[in-house]
Amino acid sequence: MSDTFQLDGQPVVFESGQTVMQAALAAGHYIPHLCYHPEFKPHGSCKLCTVKVNGRTAASCTMPAEAGLEVESDSEELNALRRTLVQMLFADGNHFCPSCEKSGNCILQALGYDLEVHSAGFRHQFPDRPLDASHPDILLDFNRCILCELCVNASAEVDGKHVFALAGRGNSKHLIVNAESGLLKDTDIALTDKAMSVCPVGVIIKKGVGFSTPIGERRYDQRPISEQALDDAPRLPSGEAHD
């Protein structure tokens, strides 16, 4: 069964079971998002996808689409909120983009550019988060983790392992691995794992291939994320490609 809702004044056709985000992307409309990944159940934590529905704010990635909704997304008010959220994430971790292997392929950075985040906005927290370089092929740089839980879900649902989990509460929440030693080398992670490829930022890094694509020639160096997200995203809620 299909129905429609309005997104920034344009009709969007959706199928029952889709969220506002899923329907919008499938119909070729971009709503900024960070923790949402088309192949996984929406997490709803980053709140970058916040929209206004009938006057009230809600995360569009988790909000079920309903006929007749009036959704506002691309407004100055909402983009200002998104900018603030991006600033908060930058201030919360240690993001030194110029020296980061993920630079140019990083969704947080790409959103920063696309949303025109020009200043720090907040006091940087400079948390102390030691790296885990124990594994011969993989480096974990916790400084950049935005706690989106994608690696946790990918490892559990796709890889059938439980390499990652989130621990702690509030501002001391952090990523841990599944080993009595607490070290990645003692887990069963493999380079071919789905968990290796889902991190939107630069936490889970393959060793030995660093900077093989020069900065400046990477994905979001070419075209802004708002255009590219639509290439990845149009899928049915089941995760299959949309035709």
Please state whether beta strands 70-72 and 2-7 pair in parallel, antiparallel, or not at all (unpaired). Answer: parallel
Distances in Å between the Cα of 197 and the Cα atoms of 142, 152, 172 are 16, 12, 25
Point out which span in 6-14, 128-136, 199-207, 218-226 binds ligand SF4 (CB under 6 A): 199-207
Under rule CB under 6 A, residue 147 binds ligand SF4: yes
Please select the residue that binds ligand FES; options are 8, 44, 185, 206, rule is CB under 6 A.
Answer: 44
| Closest by Cα among 95, 139, 147, 140 to 117 | 95
The residue among 36 and 40 lying less far from ligand FES, judged by its C-beta, is 36
Under rule CB under 6 A, residue 141 binds ligand SF4: no
- Separation of alpha carbons 90 and 190, rounded Å: 29
Under rule CB under 6 A, residue 199 binds ligand SF4: yes
- The single residue listed with the structure tokens 């089941």 is 238
The residue among 30 and 36 lying less far from another protein, judged by its C-beta, is 36
Point out which span in 39-47, 90-98, 110-118, 165-173 binds ligand FES (CB under 6 A): 39-47
Point out which span in 2-10, 56-64, 194-202, 235-243 binds another protein (CB under 8 A): 56-64
- The single residue listed with the structure tokens 């370089």 is 133
For residue 214, give the DSSP letter. P
The residue among 67 and 209 lying less far from another protein, judged by its C-beta, is 67
Under rule CB under 6 A, residue 59 binds ligand FES: yes
Under rule CB under 6 A, residue 198 binds ligand SF4: yes
- Separation of alpha carbons 46 and 150, rounded Å: 12
Distances in Å between the Cα of 219 and the Cα atoms of 12, 99, 110, 227, 240 are 28, 17, 9, 11, 23
Under rule CB under 8 A, residue 50 binds another protein: yes
Under rule CB under 6 A, residue 61 binds ligand FES: yes
CB of 216 to another protein, least distance (A): 29
- Separation of alpha carbons 114 and 101, rounded Å: 20
Q: What's the gap between Cα 15 and its chain centre?
A: 24
Dump strand ranges (E) for the chain. Answer: 2-7, 10-15, 50-53, 56-59, 70-72, 138-140, 164-167, 174-177, 204-206
- Site of interaction with another protein (CB under 8 A): 42, 44-48, 50, 57, 59, 62, 64, 81, 84-85, 88-89, 91-92, 122-123, 125, 127-130, 132, 142, 146-147, 162, 164-174, 176-183
- Site of interaction with ligand SF4 (CB under 6 A): 145-151, 175, 198-199, 201, 203-204
